[in-house]
Chains A and B, each alone.
Chain A
Amino acid sequence: MNLRGPRRVETAARSDGDRHTLADLPTGAAAEIAGLDQGAPEDVSRRLRHLGFRAGTQVVKMRTAPLGDPAVYRLLGYDTCLRRNEAAYIRIAERP
């Protein structure tokens, strides 16, 4: 029923071109946040920044829920989960 969710992920991924987002990060991998998608709603991106998802923060994707969504991320010494929807707004620079 919630068709809006997955569709929004697709458009976000498309507008980003080849750039990686947290949504694409494999489980268990670490990355540094490069910034937030300009297309993200103002409220969402401000909230994500307040939660610690801002440029320069190191993030590890700890695990993904059995049904594929959401995923648990570790950052700034705490664990929080995000759905793909919001994770797709967060651009990353993968660590070598």
Chain B
Amino acid sequence: MTQSCHSTGGAAAPTGSLHIALVGSPNAGKTSVFNHLTGLRARTGNYPGVTVTRSVGTARYRGEHGTVEFAVEDLPGCYSLHPVSPDEQVVADLLDGRLEGIAPPDALAVVVDVTVLERSLSLVAQVLALGRPAMVILTMTDELAARGGHLDIDRFAAALGVPVAGVIASRGRGFEPLRALLAAPENWTRVAIPPPHDDAEFNSWVASILDAGRYRPPDPDRRSARIDRVLLHPIFGSVIFLAVMFLLFQAIFTVAAPAQDLIEQFFAWLSGVVGDTIPNTAIAGLIGTGIIGGVGAVLVFIPQIVLMFLLISLLENIGYMARAAFLVDRLMAFTGLEGRAFVAMLSSMACAIPGIMATRTLPSSRDRIATTMAAPLMTCSARLPVYILLIGLLVDSDARWGPFSLQGLAMFALYLLGGLSAMVVAWVFKSVVLGGDVLPFYMELPPYRFPAVNSVLLTMWDSAKAFLRKAGTIILATSIVLWFLLNLPLRTAEIAGMDPAAANAYVVDHSFAASIGKLIQPIFGPLGFDWRICVGLIGAMAAREVFVATMGQIFAAENLDDPSGAVQSAVWTSGPHQGELLFTASTTVALLVFFAYALLCMSTVAVIRRETNSWKWPLVAWGYMFALAWSAAFVARHVALWIAG
């Protein structure tokens, strides 16, 4: 909480100084203008009380009378000042001075893509109607000329009644005159009469302004039309879409995975070195496993996140993302979401962390929340080791159904269960929990463009930084707490002379985690879990795959990473089932289903906290997933018992 307050404070303009807000539709080039004006001196935070990112930076103008510094705020993209979504509500509230702690900007600059000038005059007219100092920044002036269009900026400005500056953001041209203008809004010309509202009058106002500016619209972009003929073709387009999504998904698995392995190996090695050099086993364990392991657990996500945002930002900047969303929108409409949510859902099959972060590309914050709530149900790669262990206990590796391995079928069924459940949950959150959405679906298909390298790099950097700063601390803290729970109180005297496997088991059996496991066992009793499985679930709170190693430790397996033998022969040590096998078919099925649904991943909780800027949504996610997991596991257990007779 302190941190988020701090960064919101950091994002605020220094009091008393000039504060200018950039307004513009998505794709207008607002963010590139912002980056050019503020360089890397931008700070991001959140608007108070909402899941909408706020970016404020400082721009400098060195004029004849010394240097003027002013704050520039990059408002969320909007097509209209009449809000129909929470994001647009922020813009409207900010301009009206209704946001607590944020003064309304002193002046507004509307960023307009000059190649779609006619359409954009609607937003310009709404800004002019506010009666505040306003100006217009025209981007893509080079593209207008290249496509045979024309605009006389001075005449256009005279007809509009406010200052107009043209820039080429991709090459950084035209920014000095723009800075000079922005530094002195008190000199801006103001409109005497706001533009008309009525459709017919408004259309003639637009026509007269464009006419005065000698505007000639650009020819339709032939290159984009040619590319679209292939990429949006009913058959080729769909095949290419599947291929692109497959490669995106594969890249997260195959390109990021080796880098993640290296990070894991490095931290394992470091932790080993610590273990060898520090004689006190407890301190060595805390530093080696708790702290170094925790830092490793944070950094291990970085390759995925950076790669994910590199690819998404490339596809977005090229213009393919909107096309992909167009192709798949009908499918996503079943869930109440729209095409743009597809990428977030798909990448959650590798890991929910980059998936949830990818929801940033969704324009509606309702869609962002619904997708975030559903994404952790997709079968992520951390569930795989757990599924492999449990399916191995349940199904014989030689068992076949026709030509298919039953183990493979069981795995497929779990993927299907995760995917379908995610779709249903998204629908429930979108349509029931968050209420009906009046926001009509519309999405601009921009011309294909070469991506700007620096904006792609900035997106990658921002996402990695955001993850490390907010989610990283929570993950590290959890790792240390879990180490304490699993290893304290110290049993140095008792384990002296035991072999390592027995010593491991002894420490865990008598740890705080064991006490908690025994305490919560009654909750899980109806699912057939004993207190040791509960300890495994506590360990899995760090990350699902930790369950496997914790089981190995608890059942004193020789090899912690493959405890299946030790787990298979485990029996109840007390209670009415004493001496009976613990992992019966029904219990194993219940455990599999529990893992399919439960949010056993502190990193996901931390990232939901970071992305929604509140503890409400991570708690909701954890709570509903726990309830779902328990109920589904209970049902699955009884169905399994009934089938077994």
Query: Could you tell me which A residues sit within 8 Å of B by CB distance?
Result: 1-2, 5, 41, 43-44, 46-52, 54-57, 63, 65-70, 72, 74-83, 85-86
Contact = CB atoms under 8 A, between A and B. Distances in A.
B82 A52 contact: no
Given A77-B118, A79-B445, A67 B334 contact: no
A77 B116 contact: yes
A1 B84 contact: no
Nearest to B149: A77
B119 A77 contact: yes
B119 A52 contact: yes
Nearest to B88: A47
Given A55-B200, A69-B329, A41 B119 contact: no
A3 to B, nearest CB: 10
A44 B441 contact: no
A86 B443 CA distance: 12
Nearest to B82: A46
Contact of B326 (A50, A65, A76, A78): A65
B237 interface: yes
Contact of A50 (B123, B203, B329, B445): B123
A44 B333 contact: no
Nearest to A62: B228
Given A1-B424, A65-B330, 4 more contacts: A49-B122, A55-B199, A70-B330, A85-B441
A52 B122 contact: yes
5 contacts: A1-B335, A47-B440, A49-B122, A49-B199, A52-B119
B203 A56 contact: yes
A80 B443 contact: yes
Contacts of B333: 2, 5, 69, 83
A70 B119 contact: no
Contact of A56 (B116, B199, B326): B199
Contacts of A5: 333
Contacts of B431: 2
Contacts of A86: 440-442
Contacts of B126: 50
5 closest cross-chain pairs (CB), A and B? A67-B330, A76-B119, A50-B80, A66-B234, A78-B116
B626 interface: no
Given A50-B122, A52-B122, A76 B329 contact: no
Nearest to A55: B199
A70 B199 contact: no
Given A47-B82, A56-B203, A77-B115, A67 B331 contact: yes
Contact of B441 (A43, A63, A74, A83): A83
A46 B115 contact: no
B218 interface: yes
Contacts of A76: 116, 118-119
B79 interface: yes
B220 interface: yes
B608 to A, nearest CB: 24
Interface of B: 79-80, 82, 84, 115-119, 122-123, 126, 199-200, 202-203, 217-218, 220, 228, 232, 234-235, 237-238, 326-327, 329-331, 333-336, 424, 427, 431, 438-446
Contacts of A85: 440-441
A43 B85 CA distance: 10
Nearest to B206: A76
A76 B444 CA distance: 12
Contact of B444 (A1, A56, A80): A80
B472 to A, nearest CB: 37
A61 to B, nearest CB: 13
A67 B332 CA distance: 11
Contact of B80 (A47, A54, A56, A57): A47
Given A56-B203, A70-B326, A77 B80 contact: no
Contact of B218 (A57, A77, A83): A77
Contacts of A57: 203
Contacts of A65: 232, 326-327, 329-330
B442 A81 contact: yes
Given A51-B79, A51-B119, A81-B445, A74 B220 contact: yes
Contacts of B326: 65, 70, 72, 81
B422 to A, nearest CB: 13
A76 B232 CA distance: 21
B444 A79 contact: yes
Contacts of A54: 199, 202-203
Contacts of B218: 77
A30 B14 CA distance: 52
Contacts of B444: 78-80
Nearest to B444: A80
A11 B200 CA distance: 28
Nearest to A48: B440
Nearest to A57: B203
Contacts of B203: 54-57
A41 B82 CA distance: 14
A49 B238 CA distance: 32
A66 B122 contact: no
Contacts of B115: 77-78
Most buried by A among B115, B220, B446: B220
Nearest to A6: B333
A77 B526 CA distance: 63
Contacts of B443: 80-81
A49 B115 CA distance: 19
Given A43-B84, A50-B123, A69-B333, A80 B438 contact: no
A89 to B, nearest CB: 9
Contacts of B217: 77
A75 B84 contact: no
A62 B326 CA distance: 13
A92 to B, nearest CB: 15
Contacts of A51: 79, 119, 122, 442
B400 to A, nearest CB: 35
A35 B15 CA distance: 47
A86 B199 CA distance: 19
A46 B80 contact: yes
A78 B330 contact: no
A81 B199 CA distance: 22
B327 A66 contact: yes
A75 B329 CA distance: 21
